[in-house]
Structure 1
Amino acid sequence: MGQSSSNRVVSRFTETNAPPNNVALPTDYLNEPLTTLEGSLKNMHSRLDDLDKHIINAKAQFNSSIAHNLTRDEAAAIYLYTLEWPSNGISLYTIFNQDLRTKDNSKIKHWLPFLKLLMTAMNKMPSKQLRVYRGLRGDVSKEYTEGLEFVWASATSCSRSINMACNFFANSNGECVLFQIDVQNGKDISAFSHFKLEEEVLLRPGTRFRVTKKPQLEKIDSMSVFVVHLQEV
């Protein structure tokens, strides 16, 4: 669990959030009963390979003494969110976030039990006010004009380390964007992540942001990247 995933082609830190939108977090999850990790993903077996095996492995990472009084299922939900499926499989976070970004309730409804478990875990953790970073391949900087307020519907994975965030697109061909985000409610999930060295901070689905300055092309560790400055609002 003490590894980094910076050699991956795509990761939670570079999956697309664009374009900026105002798709709100579905509040139906609040009415869901809190269930086990197995129960929260009972409708996902056809979409995620070897799900039972990964659930067992996730729960095996935690004993009865867990930070912030998370239950074993809550901690394992975060771990499973950070886990990379083998190269021939699609990871949970990919499908979860893709579906949250749609307005298709027929897809979102199957995630509500897992969303309830994940949000319950995050709500138990202290909120951090800090600066974090995430990357995105391709130049979408023109979509993030100064003063724009928008929502990212999906869960947003960031790193406390600018170098870690940049590593995820260091070998990318073409233009890249680095989001520098000043957050108010960041959740440091390092203790629960499969990749502890990534210094991951997770932002809730449906978090609202404001672009605080015009995106600029900047040099970071010999790379030229467009930097988009965001503030959580």
Structure 2
Amino acid sequence: MAGEYTKSSVDISNPYEETIELSKMINLIAKNENVPLLSLDEAINPLRVVVPELEQMVLIVRSVNNTSPNILKNDESHSILLYTMKWTPIATSFHVILNNILQTRNLTLLKPWLYYIKLLMTALSKLTTNFSHITVYHAVKLNLITQYPEGRVLIWWNFASCTSSLNILNDGNVFGQNGERTLFIIDSKSGKSIRQHSFYP
């Protein structure tokens, strides 16, 4: 998502560092598997002191009809909608705050988010997975070349919204033609389409 990036990758070219980072992720996944699946209201309750104006965000999300009720329950669909919502200022958007926390890889900071992440991951797991190779694009309005040295293996810890349409990238609000920008061209093998559950299809 353009204009809201903080460093989200970890260099794992060092085997010792790789072991530490993978251990953290395994711990997080293990904890999340044991987290109960709650309603959206219950899942975001611990986040009311973390996300400004969360109540207003949820009211907007609740006003949107679930376009695929046979696949996702309302709360599951709304959990994706909540993630895709942009807020003003952009730094207070739900997904920006969540991704910033994920990038810390700090389990203490992540703890209040586990209920929501469980609901979101449950929703995503029900969507059709595209196992065929498809090229998608992740656009950032920053110069990130120094953070991605050629030949290095890195892990993205955060969620990354992508598009398969190059035309969308021409929109100045998304990527545009001016200023410092970085375009990630991703060979996706297991992507999930959230088009029907996004504020920005």
Fold in common (TM above 0.5): yes
Distance 1:177 1:159 in 2: 14
Structure 1 runs of 4+ off > 6 angstroms? none
Matched, 1:20 2:9: yes
Could you report, residue by residue, the CA deviation over 1:102-150 in whole angstroms, capped at 9, with x for unpaired residues?
Answer: 0322210111001000100111111123110012233322443444322
Q: Which amino acid in 1 is paired with 2:107?
A: N
8 Å Cα contact 1:68/1:124 also seen in 2: no
- Aligned-residue offset at 1:13: 4.3
8 Å Cα contact 2:72/2:123 also seen in 1: yes
Q: Which runs of 5+ in 1 are unaligned?
A: 1-11, 197-233
Larger RCO (alpha carbons 8 Å, 6+ apart): 2
Structure 2 match to 1:182: 187
The alignment partner of 1:101 has SS state of helix
Q: Please, which moves more after superposition, 14-23 or 36-45?
A: 14-23
Structure 2 match to 1:29: 32
Q: Please, which moves more after superposition, 149-158 or 44-53?
A: 44-53
- Aligned-residue offset at 1:54: 2.1
1:157 is matched with which residue: 154, 161, 171?
A: 161
Name the one with the larger helix percent: 2
Change (3 A) 1:71 1:124: same
The alignment partner of 1:122 has SS state of helix
Name the one with the larger strand percent: 1
Change (3 A) 1:17 1:66: same
Matches within 5 A, 1:190-205: 190-196=195-201
TM-score, normalized by length of structure 2?
0.80
How many residues are matched?
Answer: 183
2:97 is matched with which residue: 95, 98, 108?
A: 95
Q: CA RMSD of the aligned region, Å?
A: 2.3
Structure 2 match to 1:111: 113
- Aligned-residue offset at 1:88: 7.7
Structure 1 match to 2:17: none
